[in-house]
Amino acid sequence: MSTTTSTQIRLARRPVGEPADSDFTTDTVGLPELGDGDVLLRTIYLSLDPYMRGRMSDAKSYAAPVEIGAVMEGSTICEVIESRAENRPVGTYVLAHTGWQSHGVVPARQTRRLDPAAAPISTAVGVLGMPGFTAYAGLLQIGRPQEGETVVVAAAAGPVGSAVGQIAQAKGARSVGIAGGAEKVRILREEFGFDEALDHRSPDFVAELKAATPDGVDVYFENVAGTVGEAVMRRMNTYGRVPVCGLVADYNATAPREGAEPGPSLMRRILTQSLTVRGFIQNEFVADHHEDFQREMGAWVSDGTVKYREDVVDGLENAVDAFRGLLTGRNVGKLLVQVGEDPSR
Amino acid sequence: MSTTTSTQIRLARRPVGEPADSDFTTDTVGLPELGDGDVLLRTIYLSLDPYMRGRMSDAKSYAAPVEIGAVMEGSTICEVIESRAENRPVGTYVLAHTGWQSHGVVPARQTRRLDPAAAPISTAVGVLGMPGFTAYAGLLQIGRPQEGETVVVAAAAGPVGSAVGQIAQAKGARSVGIAGGAEKVRILREEFGFDEALDHRSPDFVAELKAATPDGVDVYFENVAGTVGEAVMRRMNTYGRVPVCGLVADYNATAPREGAEPGPSLMRRILTQSLTVRGFIQNEFVADHHEDFQREMGAWVSDGTVKYREDVVDGLENAVDAFRGLLTGRNVGKLLVQVGEDPSR
CB A140 within 8 A of CB A169: no
Identify whether residues B98 and B53 lie together within a single domain.
yes
Give the pLDDT score at A204: 97
Q: CB contact, 8 Å: B312 with chain A?
A: no
B102 lies in the same domain as B188: no
SS3 A213: coil
Q: CA A145: distance to chain centroid?
A: 21
Pairing between strand B38-47 and B334-338?
Answer: antiparallel
State residue A218's pLDDT score: 98
User: What's the pLDDT at A331?
Assistant: 84
Using the Cβ of A270 and the Cβ atoms of chain B, whether some distance falls under 8 Å is answered with yes
Domain that holds residue B216: 130-279
Q: Are A303 and A170 in contact (CB under 8 A)?
A: no
The band of B22, judged by pLDDT with boundaries at 50, 70 and 90, is very high
Q: What is the 3-state secondary structure (H, E, C) of chain B?
A: CCCCEEEEEEECCCCCCCCCHHHEEEEEEECCCCCCCEEEEEEEEEECCCHHHHHHCCCCCCCCCCCCCCECCCCEEEEEEEECCCCCCCCCEEEECCCCECEEEEEHHHCEEECCCCCCHHHHHCCCCHHHHHHHHHHHHHHCCCCCCEEEECCCCCHHHHHHHHHHHHCCCEEEEEECCHHHHHHHHHCCCCCEEEECCCCCHHHHHHHHCCCCEEEEEECCCHHHHHHHHCCEEEEEEEEECCCHHHHCCCCCCCCCCEHHHHHHHHHHCCCEEEECCCHHHHHHHHHHHHHHHHHHHHCCCCCCCEEEEECHHHHHHHHHHHHHCCCCCEEEEECCCCCCC
Q: Of B262, B279, B296, at which residue does a domain stop?
A: B279
Q: What is the mean pLDDT of residues B111-118?
A: 94
CATH code assigned at A203: 3.40.50.720
Which residues in chain B are closer than 8 Å to A226, comparing Cβ atoms? 264
Distance CA A159, CA A171 (A): 18
User: Which residues contact residue B214 at a Cβ distance below 8 angstroms, ignoring those fewer than 6 apart?
Assistant: none
What's the sign of the alpha-carbon dihedral B83, B84, B89, B95?
A: negative
CA distance A196 to B86: 57
Residues of chain A neighbouring B284 (CB-CB closer than 8 A): 239, 274
Q: Do A264 and B257 touch (CB under 8 A)?
A: yes
Smallest Cβ–Cβ distance between A247 and the set B260, B267, B273 belongs to B267
Cβ contact (<8 Å) for A244 and B256? no
Helix (H, G, I), strand (E, B) or coil at A163: helix
Judge if B150 and B252 occupy the same domain.
Answer: yes
Examine the domain organization and report whether A98 and A142 are in the same domain. Answer: no
Whether A328 has its CB under 8 Å from any CB of chain B: the answer is no
Query: Pick from B239, B260, B284: which is nearest to A274 by CB?
Result: B284
Give pLDDT, residue A254. Answer: 66
CB contact under 8 A, A272 and B239: no
B274 touches A at CB < 8 Å: yes
Same domain for B167 and B196, yes or no, is: yes
Contact across the interface for A263 and B230, Cβ inside 8 Å:
yes
**Residue B80's pLDDT band (cuts 50, 70, 90):** very high
Eight-class DSSP state of A123: G
Other beta carbons within 10 angstroms of residue B225's beta carbon come to: 25
Spatial distance between the Cα atoms of B40 and A163, rounded to a whole number of angstroms: 60
The answer to whether A286 contacts chain B (CB < 8 Å) is no
* pLDDT tens for each residue of B174-203: 999 999 999 999 999 999 999 999 999 999
**B266 contacts in A (CB within 8 Å)?**
263, 266-267
Return the pLDDT at B267. 93
Domain identity same for B268 and B229: yes
CB distance from B272 to chain A under 8 Å? yes
Residue A139 C-alpha, separation from nearest chain B C-alpha, in angstroms: 15
In this structure, what DSSP letter does residue A33 have? P
Residues in B touching A287 (Cβ below 8 Å)? none
Distance CA A297, CA B292 (A): 40
Which one of B61, B244, B262 has the shortest CB-CB distance to A270? B244
Both A244 and A331 in a single domain?
A: no
Q: Which residue of B has its CA nearest to A225?
A: B264
Q: What is the reported pLDDT for B91?
A: 97
The per-residue pLDDT for A64 is 85
> What is the pTM (predicted TM-score) of this model?
0.89
Q: Give the residue-averaged pLDDT of B90-100.
A: 98
The chain A residue lying nearest B282, using CA atoms, is A274
Nearest to B267 among A244, A268, A275 (CB): A244
Contacts of B275 in chain A (CB under 8 A): 278-279
Tell whether B277 lies on the interface with A, counting CB pairs under 8 A: yes
How many domains does chain B fold into? 2
Closest residue in A to B281 (Cα–Cα): A274
Residues 6+ apart with CB under 8 A from B231: B205, B206, B209
State residue B1's pLDDT score.
45
**A345 located within any domain:** no
The CATH number of whichever domain residue B38 belongs to comes to 3.90.180.10
Q: How does pLDDT run across B129-155, given as a tens digit for each residue? A: 999 999 999 999 999 999 999 999 999
**Residues contacting A64, CB < 8 A, separation 6+:** none
- Out of B226, B272, B276, name the one closest to residue A276 (CB): B276
Domain-ending residue, one of B257, B279, B301: B279
Q: Which pLDDT band, with edges at 50, 70 and 90, does B251 fall under?
A: low
Does residue B263 belong to any structural domain of this protein?
A: yes
Q: Specify which residues B174 forms β-bridges with.
A: B150
Nearest CA in chain B to A253: B264
Residue B108, pLDDT above cutoff 70: yes
Q: Is residue A266 part of a domain?
A: yes
Both B63 and B161 in one domain: the answer is no
> Which A-chain residues 171-230 have CB contacts (< 8 A) with chain B?
222, 225-226, 229-230
- Look up residue A222 and give its DSSP letter: B
pLDDT tens string, chain A, 345 residues long: the values are 456 899 999 999 999 999 999 999 999 999 999 999 999 999 999 999 988 998 999 876 667 899 999 999 999 999 999 999 999 999 999 999 999 999 999 999 999 999 999 899 999 999 999 999 999 999 999 999 999 999 999 999 999 999 999 999 999 999 999 999 999 999 999 999 999 999 999 999 999 999 999 999 999 999 988 899 999 999 999 999 999 998 876 666 667 788 888 888 999 999 999 999 999 999 999 999 999 999 999 999 999 999 999 999 999 999 999 999 998 888 889 999 999 999 998
Residues in B 227-266 with any Cβ partner in A closer than 8 A: 229-230, 238-239, 244-247, 250, 253, 256-257, 260-266
Residues A145 and A266 in one domain: yes
A289 inside domain: no
Using a CB-CB distance cutoff of 8 angstroms, which residues of chain B are in contact with residue A238? Answer: 62
Asked if B48 contacts B330 with a C-beta cutoff of 8 angstroms, the reply is no
Q: Do A245 and B271 touch (CB under 8 A)?
A: yes
A295 lies in a domain? no
The answer to whether residues B171 and B101 belong to one domain is no
Domain boundary among A279, A295, A329: A279
Contact of B305 with chain A, judged by CB distance below 8 Å, is answered with: no
Dist CA B124 CA B114 (whole Å): 8
Long-range Cβ contact pairs of A58-61 (< 8 A, separation 24 or more): A58/A14, A60/B272, A61/B272
ipTM: 0.87
Chain B positions in Cβ-Cβ contact with residue A251 (cut-off 8 Å): none
CA distance B186 to B308: 15
| B30, part of any domain | yes
What backbone torsions phi and psi does residue A267 show, to the nearest 5 degrees? -65, -35
Judge whether B52 and B35 are in contact, CB under 8 Å: no
Count of A–B CB contacts within 8 Å?
126
Give the mean pLDDT of B22-27.
97
Contact B263 A266 (CB under 8 A): yes
- Residues of B in Cβ contact (< 8 Å) with A246: 271
Kind plus residue range of the DSSP H or E element containing A157: none
Q: CB–CB of B278 and A274 under 8 A?
A: yes
Which of 107-166 (A) contact B at CB < 8 A?
none
B208 within domain boundaries: yes
pLDDT of res. A81: 97
In whole angstroms, what separates CA A3 from the centre of its chain? 34
**In terms of domains, do B220 and B272 share one?**
yes
Position B254 pLDDT exceeds 70: no
Interface test with B, best of A160, A265, A278, A288 (most B CBs within 10 A): A278
Interface test with B, best of A267, A270, A283, A284 (most B CBs within 10 A): A267
Using one digit for the tens of pLDDT, what is the confidence trace for B315-328? Answer: 999 999 999 999 88
Same-domain status, B154 and B253: yes
Tell me how long chain B is.
345
A301 occurs within a structural domain? no
> What whole-number distance in Å separates Cα of residue A169 and Cα of residue A148?
9
Of B154, B255, B54, B265, the closest CA to residue A263 belongs to B265
Contact list in B for residue A275 (CB cut-off 8 A) is 278-279
- Percent of chain B whose predicted confidence (pLDDT) is above 70: 97
pLDDT tens digits, A28-60? 999 999 999 999 999 999 999 988 998 999 876
Q: Nearest by CB to A279, which of B230, B262, B274?
A: B274
Question: Over pLDDT 90: what percentage of chain B?
Answer: 87
For the cut 50, the answer to whether the pLDDT of residue B235 exceeds it is: yes
**Phi/psi of residue B176, each to 5°?**
-120, 120
- What's the CA gap between A289 and A53, in Å, rounded? 27
For the beta carbon of residue B65, count every other beta carbon within 10 angstroms: 17
What DSSP letter does each residue of A1-29 carry, written as one string? Answer: ----EEEEEEE-S--SSS--GGGEEEEEE
Distance CA B90, CA B79 (A): 8
